[in-house]
Amino acid sequence: MNLAPNASENFVAVIGGGPAGLMAAETLAAVGQRVQVFDAMPSVGRKFLLAGKGGLNLTHGEAPALFGQRYLERSRLLATSLASFGPQALRDWAQALGVDTFVGSSGRVFPKDLKAAPLLRAWLHRLRGQGVGFHMRHRWLGWDAQGALRLATPEGERCIEPVATVLALGGASWQRLGSDGAWWPWLQAAGADLAPLRPSNCGFDVGWTAHFAQRHAGQPLKGVALRCEGFEQRGEAVVTATGIEGSLVYAASSHLREAIARDGQARFHLDLLPARDLAWVQRELAHPRGPRSLSTHMKTRLKIDGVKAGLVWECVPREDQADPARLAAAIKALPITVKAARPIDEAISTAGGVRFEGLDEGLMLRARPGVFCAGEMLDWEAPTGGYLLTACFATGRQAGLGAAAWLGAGQGGR
């Protein structure tokens, strides 16, 4: 493809080679549109491949109604995308690429080989067969004064004039994989309705004592429950040198982040023994311990030791440790105060981005006709567990359909 300055080609440009961009490209190519994909990285799907290192949690097998609720206040606005291309449709799509999936014990859906690379390879092979072109190390730099797309390429800056553009540039986490949020000022200048980018599915700083951090950083907290501001869930977390992270904390991250923004800090409670009620814990602690230390007593009677015991000594005042009733109450609701979310580049995903209120039903920017947005750069968030990838695929498809419909209605142009 000729990328000479100000070239005019009858093609749709997809900016961003992650799942949302590739799905938009596939959707457009399937209806006969000429598609060219541009990505700043040396290869496409880098964050997708990184996700696959943990087994590639592609989607989730829970009931559609419950699945949709995972997107919190954006559930209604994502309903159209998910109804058209939800978990089962995604599994069928993967199977058509020769990748079978299975539902794990947690309800999460994985490829049978637990790998992302075979799926991506098969997908790229099909896309190339559809005529989709790929241009690596092509970083989007916004628009020039005439409205052409500016691209930084290995040969220098070039401008292109597609008939429509799909932006699928991700959020602002994992900059080394291409999601750096650099698109924000260009869309803001174009009049797009934007919400600030914030960390999601992230860890939080607590401010442990040096003694606790040195002894327990990196240790998992298994079989616990977390409660805060209407949120309650069982799961696992990990103590870090600065605070706490892990799937259970990620699931509560939006609640904690908003509380910090409002109050300067957030408090949640950990139940260290969610399978036992308070009365049982009180009885066990009140059992005569003779010459044994409280630490040994808790280990013997409650099976609390290691990092769980360390949290008790860290968070429970000495006077409460000496009182079985108050100690039991703390074990069932250990108060932990977090002071800040970890930096956005450490987050698994981001909240904020292009607001749906500034898009039409085809995900086209009302402020810039012919420009469509998809994936994590949209203003939605969800916990880990397959929800993130599913919404990226679904909104990519919706943006592709929206661009195809706009072009089919004779609306060609930037």
Any idea where the domains of the chain sit in the sequence? 7-200+348-408, 204-341
Tell me which architecture the domain covering 7-200+348-408 has in CATH: 3-Layer(bba) Sandwich (3.50)
Separation CA 335–CA 322 (nearest Å): 17
Separation CA 349–CA 39 (nearest Å): 19
Nearest alpha-carbon partner for 404 in 32, 117, 23 = 32
Q: φ, ψ for residue 37 (rounded to 5)? A: -105, 130
Residues 129-156, buried b or exposed e (16+ Cβ, 10 A)?
eeebebbeebbbbebeeeebbbbeeeee
State the sign of the Cα–Cα–Cα–Cα dihedral 318, 323, 328, 330.
negative
Could you identify the residue written with the tokens 């596939």?
26
CB 411, CB 362: distance < 8 Å: no
Instruction: Give DSSP secondary structure letters for 336-395.
Output: EEE-EEPPGGGSSEEEEEE-GGGB-TT-BBTTSTTEEE-GGGBS----SSSHHHHHHHHH
- Does the predicted model carry a pTM greater than 0.85? yes
Kindly give the residue spans of alpha helices, DSSP state H, lying in 252-323.
253-263, 278-286, 294-302, 306-315, 318-321
Neighbours of 291 (CB within 10 A): 5
Please give the chain's pLDDT, 414 residues, in tens.
444 333 446 999 999 999 999 999 999 999 999 999 999 999 999 989 987 777 899 999 999 989 999 998 888 999 999 999 999 999 999 999 999 999 998 899 999 999 999 999 999 999 999 999 999 999 999 999 999 999 999 999 999 999 999 999 999 987 888 889 999 999 999 999 999 999 999 999 999 999 999 999 999 999 999 999 889 999 999 999 999 999 999 999 999 999 999 999 999 999 999 999 999 999 999 999 888 999 999 999 999 999 999 999 999 999 999 899 999 999 999 999 999 999 999 999 999 999 999 999 999 999 999 999 999 999 999 999 999 999 999 999 999 999 999 998 766 544
Q: φ, ψ for residue 282 (rounded to 5)? A: -60, -45
Q: φ, ψ for residue 326 (rounded to 5)? A: -70, -35
Q: Report the pLDDT value the prediction gives residue 7, as an integer from 0 to 100.
A: 40
Bridge-based pairing state of the strands 231-239 and 243-245: antiparallel
